[in-house]
Amino acid sequence: MKSMVVANWKMSPETMREAKALFEATRKAAESAKDVSVLVAPPAIFLRDLASAYKGRRIVFAAQNGHFEKNGAHTGEISMPQIKDAKASAIIIGHAERRAAGETNAETRAKISMALSQKLQPIFCVGEHNRSAGGEHFLYVKEQLKTGLQDVTPANLGKIVIAYEPVWAIGASEAMSPRQMHEMAIFIRKSLVGSHSEKAIKTKILYGGSIDETNARDMLEGGDVQGLLVGRASTDVSKFAALIKSIA
Ligand code: PEP
């Protein structure tokens, strides 16, 4: 199975010119690695230009966020039909930085429904803020999954990718260990089998949090994950190319 790498550019770069250059380097890296499927999530303001200019098929475009309502008076927001019209096919939902800005589990639930109705693939982010010896972090993730996926039918669950991103490892100096990820992947699949159906055992799980060219391969090999969500290293051209090469 192909590994999936989601490049979350967050609020970088500053200009369209830099975005084009970063995309061009990302495209080259993606095209040299046929076994890796690359999704690029640029800032929304660059999405349409980049996606319209791209004539290849190897890269899929994703939005970093979108509103849960189809339309309406929501100044400053972007709707999922608009995202679809800008030629994105996926959307990150519930990223830790959106949650830190106030996004609730109930909102992730509504966003997932809207994304599915617009035929955008949800990349649904979950993850605890910290860990405790008592294992409360498992319950925290379970609640995020339970509420966020409440309206998703067992048949639709296969359209969703779960991105497990422990908040303490995002933008940090170290990723979590593949062994810890493996344990969490088993927990996530088990929870989804309980809430949805046995088919959930095949749910695609990504890991995100301080992944770069030095640890990507180990995480894919030992973490029981089918891909990676990459922040900082996705906007550093040489790091991203080396990361893709390391897992190709
Ligand atoms: C992220 O923002 O989802 C992320 C994983 O960031 P970083 O790779 O920089 O830790």
For 57, residues 6+ apart whose C-beta sits below 8 A from its C-beta are none
Q: Which two tokens mark 107?
A: 């909102």
Q: The whole model's pTM is what?
A: 0.97
Residues 74-112 have pLDDT tens digits of: 999 999 999 999 999 999 999 999 999 999 999 999 999
How many whole angstroms from 209 Cα to the centroid of ligand 1? 5
Q: What integer pLDDT is reported at residue 248 of this predicted model?
A: 92
Q: Is 119 helix (H, G, I), strand (E, B) or coil?
A: coil
Instruction: Collect all residues with Cβ–Cβ distance below 8 Å to 140 and sequence separation of at least 6.
Output: 128, 129
Contact present, 49 and 77 (Cβ < 8 Å): no
Task: Specify the pairing of strand 227-230 against strand 90-93.
Answer: unpaired
Ligand 1 lining (C-beta closer than 6 Å) = 8, 165, 170-171, 208-211, 229-233
Q: Is the predicted pLDDT of residue 1 greater than 90, yes or no?
A: no
CA of 42 to the centre of ligand 1 (A): 14
Instruction: Please compute the mean of the pLDDT values over residues 186-206 and round it to a whole number.
Output: 96
Q: What pLDDT digit, counting tens, does each position of 43-70 carry?
A: 999 999 999 999 999 999 999 999 999 9
Mean pLDDT to the nearest integer, 124-146 = 95
Contact 38, 7 (CB under 8 A): yes
For the chain, how long is the longest CA-to-CA vector? 51
pLDDT for 169 equals: 96
